[in-house]
Structure 1
């Protein structure tokens, strides 16, 4: 991956300009599509520039560097995952248990490329936290609001946070199991146990 710290000297950011922001989003969408298809291995500003049909200097005008660009790409891919889950949940009954089931089915059946890239991002955060910690920290902050919204509206905020955090951590573990096991039977069995725990939470006063 390029170290853009020195390269970006002399380039100004496009933030604040509507035209510049529109161009940034256009570039980001093209690069995100490339990463979704080809993964994070050998990601660099120059590879991103080729995917976007521009130069790495243009990217440095719109982004702070390779790591900033990577963070925004991963954020965009997580937004795709959240959007897919919300679409699935929209047709589910209003109970937390049914919403969690629908979200899990969306995660379980999502395109393998998307899951692979997001797993790679978490791997980078664990392998080199000094450089990529934001990729790991950002995941919980990005996913939790959706899970909080699934919880019954009358629950106290602390209870919502506790239950949503339990669901998030458990589902992320199941996704790792799906990635590393042959048939996914362990994840499915564990998920049924999670649903029973969620049902007990919903039934509690």
Structure 2
């Protein structure tokens, strides 16, 4: 059921999301969904998590593809097209981030879960010789910068696309310099 609801969310986004719409997508009733989920918010959170997991899996596959290079900068460069693309559920994930910012008391988990999922692989991309503290700092910086560039691209029109790309290029250069320092 969750996969079917997630597919509907990917296709139609969060606008007008309800238990009835989710039940229709899953081929069941809203009462059956309430048996399995605590409510519409719980179902939404779980469906967003499935979408995010699909996106994380795709972007990390690109980042760890041996054909893209092994440095942190090269791996971050490889995952960027996946993050900026119009792939499955992108609109719903963007809307989920907006919802988390709009009403953090109710929906903060929609954004926090992304950090929890992305930070460990970003740490793993850092050079082995770096201290754990440095890996943590750089992973947090990369995650925050990528999130900011994505928001800029999604909300800034053509200027946002240009600004996001300029910022991303600067981030990659900074990572190259950081790695060169050792």
The answer, yes or no, to whether TM exceeds 0.5 is yes
SS of residue paired to 2:142? helix
Match of 2:39 among 58, 65, 71: 65
After superposition, give the CA deviation of every residue in 1:39-68 in whole Å (9 maximum; x if it has no partner).
001111111100000011111222122111
Q: Distance in 2 between matches of 1:133 and 1:88?
A: 28
The question of whether the paired residues in 1 share the 8 Å contact of 2:10 and 2:90 is answered with: no
Q: Distance in 1 between matches of 2:108 and 2:81?
A: 28
2:144 matched residue in structure 1 = 169
**1:138 maps onto 2:113 in alignment:** yes
Q: Distance in 2 between matches of 1:108 and 1:132?
A: 23
User: Aligned residue pairs: how many?
Assistant: 178
Q: Distance in 1 between matches of 2:86 and 2:75?
A: 16
1:32 matched residue in structure 2 = 6
SS of residue paired to 2:89? helix
Larger radius of gyration: 1
Q: Distance in 1 between matches of 2:38 and 2:120?
A: 27
After superposition, give the CA deviation of every residue in 1:119-157 in whole Å (9 maximum; x if it has no partner).
110111111112112112222112112211211122221
Q: Pairwise mapping of residues 1-205 of structure 1 onto structure 2 (< 5 A)?
A: 27-89=1-63, 90=65, 91-111=67-87, 114-183=89-158, 184-205=161-182
User: Given the two structures, how large is their TM-score scaled by the length of structure 2?
Assistant: 0.92
CA RMSD of aligned residues (A): 1.3
After superposition, give the CA deviation of every residue in 1:15-42 in whole Å (9 maximum; x if it has no partner).
xxxxxxxxxxxx1100000000000011
SS of residue paired to 1:72? helix
After superposition, give the CA deviation of every residue in 1:58-109 in whole Å (9 maximum; x if it has no partner).
1122212211111111111111111111221213111111000001122122
